[in-house]
């Protein structure tokens, strides 16, 4: 036991001698010699005696039931057997471990987010009528593939091609080409320009692969928001083309501006507005872009037949399976633990441990969101409406997505509570005032509350988060208006203005093209019959007898 302690002490001392924590050094490069600090302890080399103390393979002849013999100095990769274990080997192993932990965390969170597709699918299918269930599920099924193809071909390079080095993933120096324009005396990044097909310009790189997977599932979340709003009347071919545009252009452009080193992210460095537009996990980038695109599509598509009377009064068209709706909400909430905490891109270094706070903030906002929605509906209509409860739950999660990395638990609870009420008010506004037909409430859940999340970041960020000492190239921590930084609030408002004024226009114009060349809307005959047979060729529930009015023949 004493020998083991000596070995550990020797390794730690060697770390100090080498300048300590050059954890991101490439595994194949030797560490540069470092001058010991005046106060550093005396460095001790790794001696033969130290290595003799290490666990030998023969020690495990009888197994290792308590794990004490597994994961020792024997497991450190030796670069040169002739030299044996060196300090460089130890340091490289530490670096590899740190980046390996971060890779594992980010990838696993990406897998969780991918599973959110299932949640969206059942929520949307449950909220539509049985005669459209197959069509709605198929949109959610293919949005994954169509969106990913567009993102692989075009979207990823536009978004992340100029993102620069991402330290927590070992650096991605090959993502270094950002197209900029010179405006107001500064270079403003507009889109990236490398990483095509994940091969271009050296992007066949493990760290780039992690970035791609994680960003791809974010993009896919955006595209699946639109299918909910447009369900029950959207031509399948139009859906595919529209999704291609969203995955290839609309989402990546705004995501570049926010996360890829674009001009919004640089508002702090270039114009002194706080730390630039801060959107930790995508209230704006993912949810607002999806919700705003959903609004644009819904306007072009128009409401479902029977949704509004001739004098403009809305009719309720209930979904066919509330159990799937609420189950889907829990699947989504589960996936959100990949969405928000995963956005640290790390469990080791540069704010990785902050993931714990992010996860708790996410839970709290979901809880208060559902409370807010239930109480609002109970007070206003006398019953705690189930579908609105689910939407309020999601609204809380949407709203906390941007601030989750920057705010404290109390602020999270407040943000979620506001979101829960806001989604109910927004749904009523969209349906009764705007007269826009949104069968699942996605415009309100993701659009309205995404914007609220962006604004809330500028209000509630408490300056206590620390992701490597800076954010968006500005030293210090993100701090909102309530904690003294009005500039950060303006940066967030600039994000809102961009989402409403630019993203909406871009989405609308692209979908006008789709309408002109493909046609968004199915025929009235198909819509009345239900889209399962006319569009998909099969119904979702062939063994069930559907009510005549559900089938649209009454």
Residues that bind other proteins (CB under 8 A): 183-185, 267, 271-273, 295, 299-300, 302-308, 310-312, 434-436, 486-487, 489-490, 493-494, 496-498, 500-502, 504-505, 508-509, 512, 524
Residue 427 CB, nearest approach to other proteins (Å): 15
Smallest separation, CB 156 to other proteins (Å)? 25
CB of 238 to other proteins, least distance (A): 17
As a whole number of angstroms, the distance between CA 140 and CA 536 comes to: 13
Cβ neighbour number for residue 40 with a 10 Å cutoff = 14
Distance (Å, whole) CA 399 – CA 388 = 16
Neighbours of 311 (CB within 10 A): 5
Report the nearest approach of other proteins to the CB of residue 242 (Å).
17
| Main-chain phi, psi angles of 189, to 5 degrees | -75, 135
CB of 340 to other proteins, least distance (A): 26
Q: Which is nearer to other proteins, 425 or 512 (CB)?
A: 512
Please say which residue, 196 or 308, places its beta carbon nearer to other proteins. 308
Nearer to other proteins, 197 or 524 (CB): 524
Nearest distance from residue 292's CB to other proteins, in Å? Answer: 9
Of 151 and 254, nearer to other proteins (C-beta) is 254
Residue closer to other proteins (CB basis): 100 or 519 = 519
> Nearer to other proteins by C-beta: 33 or 312?
312
Give the β-pairing of 186-192 and 470-471. unpaired
If the CB atoms of residues 82 and 182 are measured against other proteins, the closer one turns out to be 182
Q: Which residues have a Cβ under 8 Å from the Cβ of 174 and sit 6 or more positions away?
A: 194, 195, 201, 202, 203, 205, 208
Give the separation between CA 275 and CA 479, rounded to whole angstroms: 8
For the bound state, the minimum distance from the C-beta of residue 493 to other proteins, rounded and expressed in Å, comes to 5
Q: Which is nearer to other proteins, 120 or 277 (CB)?
A: 277
For residue 444, the minimal CB distance to other proteins (Å) is 14
Q: Which is nearer to other proteins, 32 or 310 (CB)?
A: 310
Beta-carbon count within 10 A of 525 CB: 9
CB of 330 to other proteins, least distance (A): 33
Write the DSSP string, 90-141.
Answer: HHHHHHHHHHHHHHHHHHHHHHHHHHHHHHHHHHHHHHS-GGGHHHHHHHHH
Nearest to 297 by CA among 363, 245, 215, 229: 229
Distance of alpha carbon 339 from its chain centroid, rounded?
A: 5
Residue 423 to residues 133, 343, 447, Cα–Cα distance (Å):
25, 25, 10
Q: Which helix (H) or strand (E) holds 189?
A: strand 186-192
Give the residue carrying structure tokens 């109480």: 375
Write the Ramachandran bin of 380: left for phi over 0, alpha for psi from -120 to 50, otherwise beta: alpha
Q: Which of 224, 29, 276 shows the shortest CA–CA distance to 118?
A: 224
């Amino acid at each position: 036991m004493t020998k083991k302690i000596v070995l550990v002490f020797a390794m730690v001392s060697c770390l100090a001698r080498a300048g300590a924590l050059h954890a991101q050094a490439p595994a194949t490069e030797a560490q540069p010699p470092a001058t010991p600090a005046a106060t550093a302890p005396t460095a001790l080399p790794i001696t033969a005696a130290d290595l003799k103390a290490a666990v030998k393979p023969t020690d495990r002849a009888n197994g290792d039931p308590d794990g004490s013999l597994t994961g020792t100095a024997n497991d450190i990769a030796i670069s040169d057997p002739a030299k044996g274990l060196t300090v460089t080997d130890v340091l490289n192993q530490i670096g590899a471990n740190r980046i390996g932990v971060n890779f594992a965390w980010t990838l696993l969170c990406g897998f969780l987010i991918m599973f959110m597709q299932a949640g969206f699918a059942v929520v949307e299918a449950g909220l539509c009528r049985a005669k459209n269930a197959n069509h709605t599920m198929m949109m959610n099924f293919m949005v994954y593939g169509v969106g990913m193809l567009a993102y692989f071909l075009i979207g990823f390079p536009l978004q992340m091609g100029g993102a620069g080095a991402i330290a927590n993933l070992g650096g991605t120096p090959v993502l270094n080409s950002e197209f900029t324009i010179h405006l107001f005396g500064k270079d403003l990044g507009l889109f990236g320009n490398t990483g095509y097909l994940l091969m271009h310009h050296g992007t066949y790189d493990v760290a780039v692969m992690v970035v791609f997977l994680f960003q791809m599932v974010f993009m896919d979340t955006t595209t699946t928001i639109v299918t909910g709003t447009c369900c029950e009347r959207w031509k399948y071919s139009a859906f595919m083309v529209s999704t291609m545009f969203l995955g290839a252009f609309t989402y990546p452009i705004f995501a570049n501006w926010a996360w890829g080193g674009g001009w919004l992210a640089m508002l702090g460095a270039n114009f002194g507005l706080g730390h630039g537009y801060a959107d930790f996990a995508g209230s704006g980038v993912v949810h607002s872009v999806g919700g705003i695109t959903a609004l644009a599509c819904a306007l072009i598509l128009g409401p479902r037949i029977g949704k509004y009377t001739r004098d403009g009064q809305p009719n309720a068209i209930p979904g066919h399976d509330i159990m799937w709706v609420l189950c889907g909400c829990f699947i989504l909430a589960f996936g959100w633990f990949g969405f928000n905490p995963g956005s640290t891109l790390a469990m080791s270094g540069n704010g990785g441990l902050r993931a714990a706070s992010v996860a708790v903030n996410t839970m709290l906002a979901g809880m208060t969101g559902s409370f807010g929605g239930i109480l609002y509906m109970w007070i206003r209509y006398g019953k705690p409406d189930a579908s609105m409860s689910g939407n309020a739950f999601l609204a809380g999660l949407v709203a906390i997505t941007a601030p989750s990395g920057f705010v404290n638990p109390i602020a999270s609870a407040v943000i979620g509570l506001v979101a829960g009420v806001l989604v109910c008010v927004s749904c009523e506004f969209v349906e009764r005032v705007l007269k826009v037909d949104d069968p699942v409430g996605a415009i309100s859940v993701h659009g309205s509350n995404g914007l609220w999340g962006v604004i809330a970041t500028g209000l509630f960020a408490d300056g206590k988060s620390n992701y490597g000492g800076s954010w968006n190239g500005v030293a210090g921590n993100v701090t909102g208006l309530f904690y003294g930084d009005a500039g950060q609030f303006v940066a967030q408002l600039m994000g809102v203005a961009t989402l409403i004024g630019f993203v909406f226009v871009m989405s609308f114009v692209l979908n006008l093209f789709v309408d002109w060349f493909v046609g968004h809307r199915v025929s009235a005959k198909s819509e009345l019959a239900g889209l399962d047979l006319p569009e998909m060729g099969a119904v979702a529930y062939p063994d069930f007898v559907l009510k005549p009015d559900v089938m649209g023949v009454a």
